[in-house]
Amino acid sequence: MSDQYKFTLEESEIPTSWYNINPDMPVNPAETAWNAVLHPGTQEPATPEFLSVLFPMKFIMEAVSMDRWIEIPEPVRDIYKLWRPSPLIRARRLEKALDTPAHIYYKYEGVSPVGSHKPNTAIAQAFYAKEEGVKAFTTETGAGQWGSALAMACNFFDIDCHVYMVKVSYEQKPYRRVMMETYGAEVTPSPSDKTQYGQSVLAENPDSPGSLGIAISEAVEAAVTSDGKYKYSLGSVLGPVLMHQTVVGLEALKQFEKADEYPDVVIGCVGGGSNFGGFAFPFLHKNFTEGTKTRFVAVEPTACPTLTKGKYAFDYGDSAKSAPIVKMHTLGHSFVPPGIHAGGLRYHGMAPHISSLHDNGDIEAIALDQVSTFEGALQFARAEGIVPAPESSHAVKATIDEALKCKEEGTSKVIAFNLSGHGFFDLAAYDEYLHDNLVIYEYPQAEIEKATADLPEVQLG
Ligand SMILES: *Cc1c(COP(=O)(O)O)cnc(C)c1O
């Protein structure tokens, strides 16, 4: 084995196709409905006509495609070259600090211009919109990572971008807003008076801090009432988004070949599930087709325990019940999460694919509290130098725990995790951790029961 740290690829080795897991899903779609997208009003399967009011047609076709490999359009691949291939790094200094026999690798997506994995899908979605003559995208953002990615992508393809940003983040984290505006996007704190739904939320609670569910409702309303001028873009959860992210795992596969190793455990944090899915699915494909026995661990916050405590049921994608209904692990569409620092992990639902795979036992899930994740983040930063995003720190901490288990058991496993982004815009959170102001929050079971009491009753015909 080499003594290399970094496993890099040539630009020419950026994958030419994404991996579409649809044909390989181990569970019957009719049974588990991982691919059922229902109209929020009629609760009947959504027609392409309904969905096309929201999304570019190309995106909808990807969602239902049964082709295993989908070619990455050349203009998208060209923009990927600005930062891809991203490095796979052996965390030798962390291994040493932990004194573990485990081999730890991380794929670093923080090298993108906006500092996370999110442009991998933003670029593709903006390209489709441009091709179909769409004038603008509306979207929501929590902490601002998705908003910055889409703002950059829209700017590259010369279309407008209107972002509804969860108000509490808009007020507390101005730098992400400035970044979006730098790319030319318009940013509105949500709830706002620009939409009927926003007005109704404000009428009930003028001090509403907002939530992703509310911001999605506003962005969806702005799109559907625009006479086809605007479409809506979502940065996670949906099948095509996870598929666009597989560029991450596909690169990692090639890099592991160069390292002459193969992961026993693959770890990622989960918000809506896109960075985890994008990293894990190409390895899962090997489990399905080549009999490898890699374990997959999805890591979520105890403050938003979608996979570990949510219900696996049909639910709306947003608070206003205007976004499509899908079957997923959910904390309920009315869920308003506590203000933990991993803003990107606060969505009430989970990607239907991830939910189904978890339900089927193909992937494991654990929940970690934010104090222990920052503990892991600091350990990582002090060993490897990179300051991880609070979201990614969930994967970091889970990896450290796995590596320590290896030490206890005296086994040398290969552990790979996706370092989905850097934490340079989250230093206020680090400041709180460093000065003992960070609290542990576990979402109460009673609240979960309450929020999941009014899920839609769906009968699939
Ligand atoms: C948005 C975000 C996440 C969570 O979203 P997923 O769709 O689950 O990947 C994780 N890490 C970072 C850095 C993010 O920006």
CA distance 159 to 152: 10
| Residue whose pair of structure tokens reads 């569970």 in the numeric block | 27
Residue 30's pLDDT band (cuts 50, 70, 90):
low
Residue 32 reports pLDDT greater than 80: no
* Dihedral over alpha carbons 423, 428, 434, 439 (to 10 degrees): -100
| Residue whose pair of structure tokens reads 């990614």 in the numeric block | 392
Ligand 1 centroid – CA 220 distance (Å): 21
Over residues 303-310, mean pLDDT: 94
CA distance 387 to 378: 8
Ligand 1 centroid – CA 44 distance (Å): 30
CA distance 272 to 370: 18
Q: Whose CA is nearest to atom 1 of ligand 1?
A: 344
Q: Cβ neighbours of residue 32 under 8 Å, at least 6 residues apart?
A: 327, 356, 359, 360
Specify if 99 maps to a domain: yes
3-state secondary structure 332-347: CCCCCCCCCCCHHHCC
Contact (CB, 8 A) for 143 and 344? yes
- Alpha-carbon torsion 167, 170, 176, 182, what sign? positive
Taking CA atoms, 120 is separated from 83, 218, 419, in Å, by: 10, 24, 14
Mutational test site, ligand 1, from 106, 111, 116, 296, max ligand atoms within 8 Å of CB: 116
| Residue whose pair of structure tokens reads 């933003």 in the numeric block | 122
Taking CA atoms, 83 is separated from 8, 11, 86, 150, 152, in Å, by: 12, 9, 7, 16, 13
pLDDT (0 to 100) of residue 45:
86
Contact (CB, 8 A) for 187 and 165? yes
Q: Which of 313, 299, 300, 216 lies closest to 265, judged by CA? A: 299
- Read off the pLDDT of residues 150-169 as tens digits, 9 standing for 90 and up: 999 999 999 999 999 999 88
Q: Is 273 in the pocket of ligand 1 (CB under 6 A)?
A: yes
Cα–Cα–Cα angle for 256, 257, 262, rounded to 5 degrees: 50
On the CB side of 220, CA atoms within 13 Å amount to 21
CA distance 137 to 358: 32
Q: Whose CA is nearest to atom 5 of ligand 1?
A: 271
414 membership: H or E segment, kind and range: strand 414-419
Q: Is 109 in the pocket of ligand 1 (CB under 6 A)?
A: no
* Dihedral over alpha carbons 319, 216, 202, 343 (to 10 degrees): 100
Ligand 1 centroid – CA 141 distance (Å): 11
Residue 2's pLDDT band (cuts 50, 70, 90):
low
According to DSSP, residue 457 is labeled -
Q: What ligand 1 atom has the least distance to the C-alpha of 116? A: 13
Q: Is 346 in the pocket of ligand 1 (CB under 6 A)?
A: no
Contact (CB, 8 A) for 317 and 325? yes
Residue 313 reports pLDDT greater than 70: yes
Q: Whose CA is nearest to atom 9 of ligand 1?
A: 275
Report the mean per-residue pLDDT for the chain. 94
For residue 406, the domain's CATH number is: 3.40.50.1100
- Helices within 65-141 (DSSP H only): 74-80, 92-98, 119-131
Q: Please give the tally of structural domains in the chain.
A: 1
Q: Whose CA is nearest to atom 15 of ligand 1?
A: 145
162 membership: H or E segment, kind and range: strand 160-166
Residue 336 reports pLDDT greater than 80: no
CA distance 200 to 202: 5
Ligand 1 centroid – CA 344 distance (Å): 5
Cα–Cα–Cα angle for 283, 284, 288, rounded to 5 degrees: 120
Ligand 1 centroid – CA 396 distance (Å): 13
427 is in which domain, residue-wise? 6-15+71-115+239-452
Residue 221 reports pLDDT greater than 80: yes
Amino acid 436 reads D
Q: Is 119 in the pocket of ligand 1 (CB under 6 A)?
A: no
pLDDT (0 to 100) of residue 177:
96
Residue 450 reports pLDDT greater than 90: no
- Read off the pLDDT of residues 12-22 as tens digits, 9 standing for 90 and up: 999 999 999 99
- Alpha-carbon torsion 280, 281, 284, 290, what sign? negative
Ligand 1 centroid – CA 340 distance (Å): 14
Residue 29 reports pLDDT greater than 80: no
- Read off the pLDDT of residues 388-417 as tens digits, 9 standing for 90 and up: 999 999 999 999 999 999 999 999 999 999
Residue 277's pLDDT band (cuts 50, 70, 90):
very high
Residue 425 reports pLDDT greater than 80: yes
pLDDT (0 to 100) of residue 461:
54
Specify if 59 maps to a domain: no
Token readout for 67 is: 């082709």
pLDDT (0 to 100) of residue 447:
86
Ligand 1 centroid – CA 235 distance (Å): 9
CA distance 71 to 17: 4
